[in-house]
Each structure stands twice: as structure tokens, then as C-alpha cells.
Amino acid sequence: MRSFLSFVLICSAFVCSAQEVPDFPDYRNKKESFAKVSEKYIKADLASFTIGGLDESIGKTPLKKISPFAYTRNMMNFKQDDITVTVTTVPFNASGKKIQKVGEHVVKIDGKPFYGSFGQMPITAIESVKVLWGKDTIEIPRIAYFDLYNLNFTYKDKAGTERTSNGVYFSPDGKRMYIYMLSKNEEGSYEVTWVIEDKKYFRRVLDWGFTK
């Protein structure tokens, strides 16, 4: 069960308040948020570790978790037994992309709203999310991360200690894997969970706007 202390620690590290409303058009939406998840069994699992699910976390049993095995500035790897998950980022390349601006603010990239540096030109983009589960290589499609930028694998707490909230979680029945990334960024924090069910990519859950 997520304790009250854990709740306080999370809210201390990631200020639980709405971000200021930008003075330019904001095309981002909440259609993929925790609140919109229709699968009750997935929502129950997510409530045990996501910020979006904090209000429903009381009484939830912690899920089995794999913590980061290794990381660099542009890579984070999770490894345990026969499971390996690697998330990699690369410098953002605006060449060939349609950048839509309102004044000096970037509001869409290739006709889509984006997350992680809203209003500004991104610095990094996610290159790949690779999953090896037993003998199965699971493809995470580009559509699951194409609009997520400036993914920060770690953050520093008030004492200056480097920390991460990222992890790979498993449902109690072992059928689902959840790859969780919490990116803290002054220009736009967000959390994303890629859901794998029966060793196939199922969906993502994306929340933003709750930290600053």
C-alpha cells in the first residue's frame, strides 16, 4: 500500500499544483490520461505507482518492480532475469519537420501537439523503446513516443541528490508489463506509462500539467 509518507515525498519532489496557463494556444489534451483509462484492471495497477493515480492509490498493493540497472544522459536500462528494457533518446532534429509557432512559441510539430517542452523547440527526442521479455522481442511503435520530448531520466531533489522515479512494473497475474517514465522539466513535466499485455504493446497512459 502506498503510504502517506510516500505521497508527501512525491508531492515534495514534484510540486502537486497546476502549471500556469500559457498565454498562447495549448493544443495538448487529456484523452490518454489516467482519468480516461477505461480498463479497470489497468487503472487499478496504475494507481499503485503513478502520480496521476495518487487519488486512488490508498489500499493498492505495490506491484513487482524492476529499478534502473544502468543509465546515462541519453539512455536508461532495466534488467532482471530474462527481461531487458532500454529507453534511448537522441538530439532533436527539426530538419524535415513542420514546426508551427504562435509568435515565438512552438505549439505543434508535424501538425501535432507535443509534451516535454511545450512552447519551446525540443532539445531531445525519444529514439527507441526496446523490450526483451524472455525469448520475445516486443516492438513499441513510434506512435507511442513520437510526441514526447526532453525526457529527463533523473532529477535532483532539494538536497541536490540525483534520483529517479522510473521503473518497470508487473501486474499481479504477470500478464502485463508497465514501463513507467516520469520526466521532470521546468518547461513541461509529464509521466508516461507504456502498457504491454500478453507480450504485445497495448497502449500508453500520459499525464501532464500536475508539476512545475
At 185-204, the pLDDT tens digits run 876 799 999 999 999 999 99
Whether residue 23 lies inside any domain: the answer is no
Domain count, the chain: 1
Is residue 75 a contact partner of residue 152, using CB atoms and an 8 Å limit? Answer: no
- Residue-level pLDDT at 212: 52
Q: Is the pTM of this model over 0.95?
A: no
Whether residue 193 lies inside any domain: the answer is yes
- 65-107: per-residue pLDDT in tens? 999 999 999 999 999 999 999 999 999 999 999 999 999 999 9
Whether residue 177 lies inside any domain: the answer is yes
Residue 21 has pLDDT above 80, yes or no: no
Q: How far apart are CA 159 and CA 102, in angstroms?
A: 38
Whether residue 22 lies inside any domain: the answer is no
- 22-42: per-residue pLDDT in tens? 688 999 999 999 999 999 999
Residue 8 has pLDDT above 70, yes or no: no
Query: Residue length, the chain?
Result: 212
Is residue 86 a contact partner of residue 75, using CB atoms and an 8 Å limit? Answer: yes
Is residue 109 a contact partner of residue 98, using CB atoms and an 8 Å limit? Answer: yes
Query: Which grid cell sits at 150?
Result: 526532453
- Residue-level pLDDT at 186: 74
Whether residue 191 lies inside any domain: the answer is yes
Which residues form the domain of 32?
A: 4-17+28-208
- 40-68: per-residue pLDDT in tens? 999 999 999 999 999 999 888 999 999 99
Question: How many CA atoms within 13 Å lie on the side-chain side of 38?
Answer: 2
